[in-house]
Amino acid sequence: MDVKELSKEGIFKRTITVSKEMTDENGCMTVLAVATAMQEAAGDQLTDLGIGFDFTSRKGMLWVVVWSEFVFSRLPRLGETIEFYTWPGKKMHWFYPRRAYAFDENGEEIVHGSYLWMLMDPDTRKVTEDHGLLGELPALSVQGECKIPAMKAEFPAELANKTARKVEESEVDHNHHLNNAHYLNWVADLAVECGFDMQDLKTLWINYKKEILPGDTVTLAYEKKEDLLFVSGAGKEEHFIAKLQFGEA
């Protein structure tokens, strides 16, 4: 993606400087921090459009992410100034596509992400429609933009290794469940435990299937196959699946 393509109206821009709390012990911005920055930029744009989290919650709707995919050229480093851009795509049935890109000070792309969002009823915790309450939503198409996340990924028949992780209070968001960026943090931590170097991360695909609630303990089943890591998080039901690729994508 050429950063010059991102000057059109309707694209939201946020500039940040990578601080120490955003980085790991190697001075690289964590996947959690990258995803959080993209998520916050999207949230700010929704607020500017008058359909942010506060508005939808008052109307009995919650914005949630159900699929996302990230492609990394590299991880931002401590002290770098990074420009994040995000914009909504055309609604597809129940799905609200969104894309986000990050560029360094030289205009070089560092990472891009694509999402499929949906609306959830806060009482039933099930998918809901907006019933016209959101009005006519903007829908942009940018030359060279990435595709929306694939809805399926090839997985091994069995994930033989298992560990567990419990939701911490700091990981819970305004929707009262594990924030979607923290799922990425969980799988990134697992990748490091499996011997991967996060600086070599090329792609991360994740499908959020069932929300994880405060206090839940989730069994993480995983399998490492050469430069790939496959992860499934489950309790009584499967909560999410993720696929990470390292080295050359």
pLDDT at residue 9 in the model: 84
pLDDT at residue 100 in the model: 97
More confident residue, 175 or 165: 165
Is 60 exceeded by the pLDDT of residue 249? no
- pTM (predicted TM-score): 0.92
Q: pLDDT tens, 100-150?
A: 999 999 999 999 999 999 999 988 989 998 888 888 888 898 989 999 999
Say if CB 155 and CB 241 are below 8 A apart: yes
CA 69 – CA 86 distance, rounded (Å): 14
Give the pLDDT mean for 216-221.
94
pLDDT at residue 5 in the model: 77
Give the pLDDT mean for 32-54.
92
Domains of the chain, each with CATH number or no CATH:
3-128 (3.10.129.10), 161-246 (3.10.129.10)
pLDDT at residue 248 in the model: 63
CA 101 – CA 111 distance, rounded (Å): 6
Say if CB 165 and CB 217 are below 8 A apart: yes
Percent of the chain with pLDDT over 90: 71
Handedness of CA 152, 197, 168, 77 (dihedral sign): negative
